[in-house]
Amino acid sequence: MNNAQDRKINLDTKQLDQTLINELDTYIASLDDKVGNLIHVLHKGQSLFGYLPENLQLYIARTLDLPAAKVNGVVSFYSYFTQEPRGKHTISVCMGTACFVKGSDKIRNKLKADLKIETGKMTDDGQFSLIDIRCVGACGLAPVVLVDDKVYGHVTVDNIGEIINKYREENHDGN
């Protein structure tokens, strides 16, 4: 265990929901190769808690007897994992090459301005999160934006507002 890394994070793992921690512990205990299953453990942690805050990463590192930096390195590397709470809807802007050359950065800027958040953050009302993603394999539709799992292609600065409004209306309807 790397104590220096633990001190850097220095958060109280007792703040974590103990019922969810017990469920995570049961899952970890069921694994033969705990360290080799780090990614599965992180998936389980994110599905239970909704995201992977630093104190949860630290808890996982201690439980698997891994350096906290290694766990954080894996969480940071995969865009699937999030260290921030996610809104009801996740808006993912593809920043892969094909989408970038077709102006996905302008779409991202428009979303940031409309939602009043930076990339990686959640709106104050908890309805939307905005993230960047790498190529999703739909380059022929560039530029591409995903809302949750739904792919929108040939998105423009002019029609992105309309797409997002559909989800806003759903939210207002309580769906």
- List residues binding ligand FES (CB under 6 A): 94, 96-99, 135-136, 138-139, 142, 144
Nearer to ligand FES, 32 or 149 (CB): 149
Residue 54 Cβ vs ligand FES, minimum distance, rounded to whole Å:
30
Q: Which is nearer to ligand FES, 21 or 141 (CB)?
A: 141
Nearer to ligand FES, 69 or 135 (CB): 135
Smallest distance from ligand FES to CB 2, Å? 36
**Positive or negative: CA dihedral 31, 3, 71, 66:** negative
Q: Reduced to 3 states, what is the DSSP secondary structure of residue 1?
A: coil
At closest approach, how far in Å is the CB of 157 from ligand FES? 16
Strands in 145-147's sheet, in edge-to-edge order, are 128-133, 89-94, 145-147, 150-152
CB-nearer residue toward ligand FES: 67 or 103 = 103
CB 143 within 8 A of CB 102: yes
d(CA 110, CA 161) in angstroms, rounded, equals 8
* Gyration radius from the chain CA atoms: 18
- Least distance from C-beta 101 to ligand FES, angstroms? 9
Residues 6+ apart with CB under 8 A from 80: none
Please say which residue, 16 or 94, places its beta carbon nearer to ligand FES: 94
Q: Which of 92, 72, 91 lies closest to 83, judged by CA?
A: 72
- Measured distance CA(64)–CA(49) in Å, rounded: 18
- Supply the minimum distance, in Å, between the C-beta of residue 61 and ligand FES: 33
State the residue number with the nearest CB to ligand FES: 96
